[in-house]
C-alpha cells in the first residue's frame, strides 16, 4: 500500500507475558478500541513503527505528485487540467496532514525529509513507474487511488488518534480522485481507436504494479502480526488485494478493457476472482531502488528541497525582522509612557 | 537552518458552530499560517473563519492528571436532568 513492508523492529508478536505493566495497560486500551494520543505512554517499538509507517505514507503522497505533474501542461482540455491540478493539490494536502500526524510522535518534519532524501525512508513502489500517455493519468486515479482508498478506509479506525483523524480527512477527499480517473478512462475507452489503444496499454502496464501496492503476500509478511495487534494494520495484504480485484474487474469489464491476467476468472465457490501469481522479484527490485523512475523521483524531491531553501530562509528572516520591529515599537511606546 | 514554527489550525464551519481544531502546519509567521491553512484545510468550503495559534503557546492538561481533573464529575450524576424522575402526569418539564 502507500506504506509497504513497515518494519516493527520486532521478531515476533509481543504477548502479555513479555510486557511490563504499563505496556499491558497500553495493549488493553488498544484492545478496548480506546485511541492512543500523543502524550500517552506508548512502547518505543510502537512509536518507531508508526513514525516509519506514517512518514512512508506521507512521502508517498508527496512523491505521488510527480508522475501526475508530468501531465499538467499536456492535459487534453482546460477542464481536465483544472481537475488534475486540484487532485495534485489534494495529494500535497494529504502529505501535510500525515507529516503533522507523524510529528506528534516526536520526529521533526526536517528529519523525515532528510530520511527520504538520503534514501533511508521509503515511499510506495507504485510511484516509480512512468506516466507515458494521458491514459496513465486515468489509470492512476482509477487503480492507484482505488487501491489507496481500500487500504485507508480501515485505517480511519487505527489505534493512533492523530493518524486516524488524518485518514478520515484523506478518505473524504480520495473518492474524487478515483472517480476523476475512471471518468478519463470512460472517455478514452469510448473514444477513437488510438485513444482506446492507449487505455488498453495503460491498464496493461499499471495492473500488476497496482496489485503489488498491497505489499507481500501474508505468508511473506513478517511484521503484519504485531502491526495488527497494535491496530495500525486492520486488514491483511492479501485480504485487501482480493477486495481490490473483486471490485475492479467488473469496472474494467464495463470499460470494455481486458485485465492482463490469463489466470483471472470468477470462482463461484469462493465468491471471489481467482488471479495469477504476482512477480515479486519485480516488486523487490523496485523497492530496492531499481524501478524505471526511482532515481528521477528522488532527484526531483532533493532538487525541490535544495532549490526552495532560499525561499524558506527568506520567509523566516522576514518574519523575524517584522517581529523585532513590532517589539521595538512596543518598547518605545512603553518608554514614552514612563517619561510622560 | 531551523524549521518554520508549528501552528495549530482552528476552523469555524458554515453553520455557526464554534471554531474546531482541524490540524497543524508550519509557517514562518501568523499571516502565512492563515494563508497556508486556507490551502491545506479549506479546499472544499470547510470554513468561513480561521484561527491559528502557535503550538508552543498551547497549554494542555497531562494524561497523568486525568483522574484528578475528571474523576470528580463522575460522582455528580445529579448534574444531569435524567437524575430526577418526573411523574408521567407532569408535562413540559
What is the reported pLDDT for B1? 57
The helix/strand/coil state of A307 is: helix
Going by C-alpha positions, the residue among A112, B47, A62 that lies closest to residue B23 is B47
Output DSSP code: residue A274: E
Alpha helices in chain A (DSSP H): 21-31, 44-63, 65-69, 78-103, 109-117, 134-139, 145-155, 161-189, 193-212, 224-229, 237-255, 280-285, 294-307, 309-339
A271: left (phi over 0), alpha (psi -120 to 50) or beta: left
Query: Do the Cβ atoms of B3 and A37 come within 8 Å?
Result: no
A133 within 8 A of A202, measured Cβ to Cβ? yes
From B2's Cα to the closest Cα of chain A, the distance in A is 9
Query: Do the Cβ atoms of A39 and B4 come within 8 Å?
Result: no
What is the reported pLDDT for B15? 82
Tell me: pLDDT of B93 over 70.
yes
Query: Do the Cβ atoms of B63 and A313 come within 8 Å?
Result: no
**Residues from chain A contacting residue B67 (CB–CB below 8 Å):** none
For A35-55, b where at least 16 C-beta lie within 10 A, e where not — what string? Answer: bbebeeebbebbbebbbbbbb
Tell me: pLDDT of A1 over 90.
no
Confidence of residue A277 (pLDDT cuts 50, 70, 90): very high
Of B26, B28, B44, the CB nearest to A109: B26
From A257's Cα to the closest Cα of chain B, the distance in A is 33
- Give the angle subtended at the CA of A97 by the CAs of A95 and A100, to the nearest 5°: 105
Rounded mean pLDDT, A160-176? 94
A173 within 8 A of A94, measured Cβ to Cβ? yes
Query: Do the Cβ atoms of B4 and A323 come within 8 Å?
Result: no
How do B20-26 and B6-12 pair as beta strands?
antiparallel
Residue A178: count of CB within 10 angstroms of its CB: 21
Confidence of residue A13 (pLDDT cuts 50, 70, 90): confident
Going by C-alpha positions, the residue among A151, A169, A41 that lies closest to residue A100 is A169
Reported as a single tens digit per residue, the pLDDT across A29-69 is 999 999 999 999 999 999 999 999 999 999 999 999 999 99
Q: Give pTM, 2 decimals.
A: 0.92
Query: Do the Cβ atoms of A103 and B23 come within 8 Å?
Result: no
Reported as a single tens digit per residue, the pLDDT across B34-92 is 999 999 999 998 899 999 999 999 999 988 888 899 999 989 999 999 999 999 999 99
Amino acid at each position: 500500500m502507500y506504506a509497504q513492508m513497515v518494519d516493527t523492529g520486532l521478531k515476533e508478536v509481543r504477548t502479555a507475558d513479555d510486557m511490563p505493566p504499563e505496556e499491558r495497560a497500553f495493549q488493553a486500551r488498544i484492545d478496548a478500541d480506546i485511541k492512543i494520543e500523543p502524550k500517552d505512554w506508548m512502547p518505543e517499538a510502537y512509536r518507531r513503527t508508526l513514525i516509519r509507517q506514517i512518514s512512508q505514507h506521507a512521502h508517498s503522497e508527496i512523491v505521488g505528485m510527480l508522475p501526475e505533474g508530468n501531465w499538467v501542461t499536456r492535459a487534453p482540455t482546460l477542464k481536465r487540467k483544472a481537475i488534475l491540478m486540484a487532485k495534485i493539490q489534494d495529494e500535497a494536502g494529504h502529505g501535510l496532514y500525515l507529516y503533522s500526524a507523524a510529528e506528534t510522535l516526536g520526529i521533526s518534519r526536517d528529519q523525515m525529509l532528510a530520511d527520504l532524501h538520503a534514501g533511508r525512508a521509503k515511499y510506495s513502489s507504485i510511484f516509480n513507474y512512468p506516466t507515458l500517455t494521458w491514459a496513465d493519468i486515468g489509470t492512476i486515479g482509477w487503480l492507484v487511488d482505488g487501491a489507496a482508498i481500500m487500504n485507508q478506509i480501515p485505517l480511519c479506525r487505527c489505534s493512533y488518534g492523530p493518524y486516524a483523524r488524518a485518514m478520515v480527512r484523506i478518505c473524504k477527499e480520495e473518492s474524487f480522485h478515483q472517480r476523476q480517473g475512471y471518468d478519463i478512462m470512460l472517455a478514452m475507452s469510448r473514444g477513437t481507436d488510438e485513444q482506446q489503444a492507449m487505455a488498453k496499454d495503460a491498464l496493461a502496464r499499471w495492473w500488476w504494479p497496482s496489485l503489488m501496492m498491497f505489499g507481500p503476500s501474508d505468508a511473506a509478511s513478517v511484521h503484519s502480526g504485531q502491526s495488527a495487534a497494535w491496530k495500525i494494520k486492520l486488514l491483511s495484504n492479501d485480504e485487501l488485494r482480493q477486495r481490490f480485484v473483486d471490485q475492479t474487474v467488473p469496472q474494467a469489464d464495463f470499460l470494455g478493457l481486458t485485465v492482463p491476467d490469463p489466470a483471472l476468472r470468477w470462482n463461484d465457490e469462493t465468491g471471489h476472482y481467482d488471479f495469477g501469481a504476482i512477480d515479486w522479484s519485480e516488486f523487490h527490485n523496485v523497492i530496492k531502488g531499481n524501478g524505471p523512475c526511482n532515481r528521477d523521483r528522488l532527484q526531483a524531491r532533493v532538487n525541490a528541497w535544495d532549490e526552495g531553501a532560499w525561499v524558506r530562509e527568506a520567509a523566516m528572516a522576514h518574519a523575524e525582522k517584522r517581529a523585532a520591529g513590532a517589539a521595538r515599537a512596543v518598547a518605545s511606546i512603553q518608554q514614552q509612557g514612563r517619561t510622560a | 537552518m531551523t524549521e518554520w514554527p508549528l501552528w495549530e489550525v482552528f476552523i469555524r464551519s458554515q453553520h455557526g458552530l464554534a471554531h474546531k481544531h482541524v490540524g497543524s502546519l508550519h509557517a514562518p509567521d501568523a499571516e502565512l499560517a492563515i494563508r497556508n491553512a486556507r490551502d491545506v484545510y479549506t479546499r472544499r468550503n470547510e470554513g468561513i473563519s480561521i484561527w491559528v495559534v502557535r503550538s508552543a503557546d498551547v497549554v494542555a492538561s497531562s494524561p497523568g492528571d486525568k483522574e484528578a481533573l475528571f474523576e470528580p464529575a463522575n460522582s455528580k450524576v445529579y448534574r444531569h436532568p435524567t437524575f430526577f424522575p418526573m411523574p408521567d402526569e407532569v408535562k413540559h418539564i
